[in-house]
C-alpha cells in the first residue's frame, strides 16, 4: 500500500508542476491507464496520452500559477484530497479559481484517478 507521505509528496508535486507549467512532469505523475475528470461532470479523459493532450490544451495556452491553500489530506487506502488556487487570465481578466482535487493512487504511487471540483461560477477576479 502506498504511504500517506508519498501521497502528500505527489499531490504537492502536482501543484508545483502546474505552477511551473511543466506538462511533462505532470504527465509523469499519472499511471498509463489513469482517468481524469476536470471538472467533475465533464467527460472523463482516459489514458496518459489523452491526459497529456488535456494539459497541453489547458495549460499550454497561457501562464497560470498554482498554490496549495491548505494541507493535503490522505486516507490509509491510497486516496488524497487538497485545496489549491489557480491564478490565470480568464476571458481577458486576471482571475483566481479555488479548486479541490481528489486523487486515487496505485501501488507504485502514480495517480490512478483525479477528480477536480470547480465550476466557472467559482472563478473570481484576482485581487
- Candidates 38, 53, 106, 121; catalytic one: 38
- Candidates 14, 19, 79, 117; catalytic one: 14
Pairwise CA distance, residues 88 & 66, whole Å: 9
**Contact residues for 102 (Cβ-Cβ < 8 A; gap 6+):** 79, 80, 81, 114, 115, 117
121 catalytically annotated: no
Pairwise CA distance, residues 52 & 60, whole Å: 11
38 catalytically annotated: yes
Active site residues: 14, 38
Amino acid at each position: 500500500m502506498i504511504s500517506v507521505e508519498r501521497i502528500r509528496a505527489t499531490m504537492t508535486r502536482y501543484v508545483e508542476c502546474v505552477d511551473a507549467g511543466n506538462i511533462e512532469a505532470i504527465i509523469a505523475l499519472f499511471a498509463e491507464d489513469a482517468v481524469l475528470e476536470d471538472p467533475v461532470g465533464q467527460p472523463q479523459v482516459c489514458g496518459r496520452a489523452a491526459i497529456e493532450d488535456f494539459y497541453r490544451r489547458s495549460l499550454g495556452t497561457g501562464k497560470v500559477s498554482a498554490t496549495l491553500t491548505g494541507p493535503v489530506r490522505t486516507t490509509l487506502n491510497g486516496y488524497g484530497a487538497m485545496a489549491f488556487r489557480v491564478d490565470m487570465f480568464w476571458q481577458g481578466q486576471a482571475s483566481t479559481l479555488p479548486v479541490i482535487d481528489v486523487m486515487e493512487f496505485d501501488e507504485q504511487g502514480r495517480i490512478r484517478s483525479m477528480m477536480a471540483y470547480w465550476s466557472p461560477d467559482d472563478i473570481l477576479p484576482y485581487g
